[in-house]
């Protein structure tokens, strides 16, 4: 996944550059604007391609959704820059950058919900040690339509349905041909 690696590298380099004083605030801001626009757009295109839709086939609503994803990320750049400039250590800023980097997968997942046929099956994958909500969702196989209905998505900022809030989430969903999960949807802590 070259797009995710490029996005990660651009964000981490910008963080390092601002923290070390190699970049001015304005340069950092410009780099982050470009990185989020290109990275989130590429992630959304990847999600659409996973569902058999090429970027030129996206309709107005889907294109608008990509723009909204990009703008949602860009609204946080100023606060991130201020935190980097005030930080005495680089490591905590890289941890914060990982939240930004995680939105690549979140945007891919969001676009799959918008472009996949409602009957397509998506499986929730939660790494070990995730929040209690994500642990309950691990391995759940539901249709795109069902995931849309319950409104829970990994790596989505301010997701009140997840104990991790979504913004600290490391989960993802993948297209699968596994059988649908039986029984009720798990109650989330």
- Asked if residue 102 and residue 141 are part of one domain, the reply reads no
Pairing assessment for the beta strands 172-176 and 141-143 based on DSSP bridges = unpaired
The two tokens of residue 18 are 């601002």
Over residues 15-29, mean pLDDT: 97
User: Could you tell me the pLDDT band of residue 65, with boundaries at 50, 70 and 90?
Assistant: very high
Do 128 and 105 fall within a single domain? no
Question: Of 74, 97, 115, which one is at a domain's C-terminal end?
Answer: 115
Q: What is the 3-state secondary structure (H, E, C) of the chain?
A: CHHHHHHHHHHHHHHHHHHHCCCCHHHHHHHHHHHHHHHHHHHHHHHHHHCCCCHHHCCHHHHHHHHHHHHHHHCCHHHHHHHHHHCCCCHHHHHHHHHHHHHHHHHHHHHHHHHCCCCCEEEEECCCCCCHHHHHHCCCEEEHHHHHHHCCCCCCCCCCCCCCCCCCCCCEEEEECCCCCCCCCCCCC
pLDDT at 1 over 60: no
Q: Is 66 exposed, middle or buried (0-12, 13-18, 19+ CB in 10 A)?
A: buried
126-161: pLDDT as tens digits: 988 878 998 999 999 999 999 989 988 888 877 888
What's the confidence (pLDDT) of residue 175? 92
Average confidence (pLDDT) over 93-113: 92
The answer to whether 135 touches 176, Cβ cutoff 8 Å, is no
Q: Are residues 86 and 129 in the same domain?
A: no
> Is 188 a domain residue?
no
Full-model pTM: 0.82
pLDDT of residue 164: 85
User: Do 13 and 98 share a domain, yes or no?
Assistant: yes
Q: What is the pLDDT of residue 2?
A: 64
Enumerate residues 6+ apart whose C-beta is below 8 A from 2: none
Instruction: Give the domain range for residue 90.
Output: 2-115
Q: Are residue 61 and residue 26 in the same domain, yes or no? A: yes
Q: Does the residue 185 lie in any domain?
A: no
- One domain for residues 43 and 57: yes
pLDDT of 96: 92
How confident is the model over 116-129, as pLDDT tens digits? 888 899 999 998 88
pLDDT for residue 167 is more than 80:
no
**pLDDT, the chain, mean:** 92
**One domain, residues 110 and 127:** no
Question: 36 and 91 share a domain?
Answer: yes
What is residue 141's predicted lDDT score, i.e. its pLDDT? 96
Q: 183 lies in a domain?
A: no
Alpha-carbon distance of 113 to 153, in angstroms, equals 9
Domain-located, residue 129: yes
* Domains identified in the chain, total number: 2
| Dihedral pair phi/psi, residue 49, rounded to 5° | -60, -35
**Domain contains 182:** no
| pLDDT score recorded for residue 128 | 86
């Amino acid at each position: 996944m070259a797009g995710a690696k490029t996005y990660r590298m651009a964000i981490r380099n910008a963080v390092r550059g601002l923290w070390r004083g190699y970049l001015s605030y304005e340069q950092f801001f410009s780099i982050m604007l470009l990185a989020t626009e290109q990275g989130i757009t590429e992630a959304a295109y990847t999600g659409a391609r996973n569902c058999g839709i090429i970027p030129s086939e996206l309709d107005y609503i889907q294109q608008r959704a990509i723009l909204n994803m990009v703008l949602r990320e860009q609204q946080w750049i100023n606060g991130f820059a201020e935190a980097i400039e005030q930080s005495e250590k680089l490591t905590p800023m890289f941890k914060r950058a990982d939240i930004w980097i995680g939105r690549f997968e979140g945007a891919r997942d969001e676009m799959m919900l918008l472009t996949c046929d409602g009957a397509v099956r998506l499986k929730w994958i939660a790494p070990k040690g995730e929040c209690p909500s994500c642990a309950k969702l691990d391995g759940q196989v539901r249709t795109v339509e069902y995931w849309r209905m319950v409104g829970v998505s990994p790596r989505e900022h301010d997701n009140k349905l997840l104990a991790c809030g979504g913004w600290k989430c490391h989960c993802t969903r993948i297209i699968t041909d596994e059988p649908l999960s039986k029984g009720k949807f798990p109650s989330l802590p």
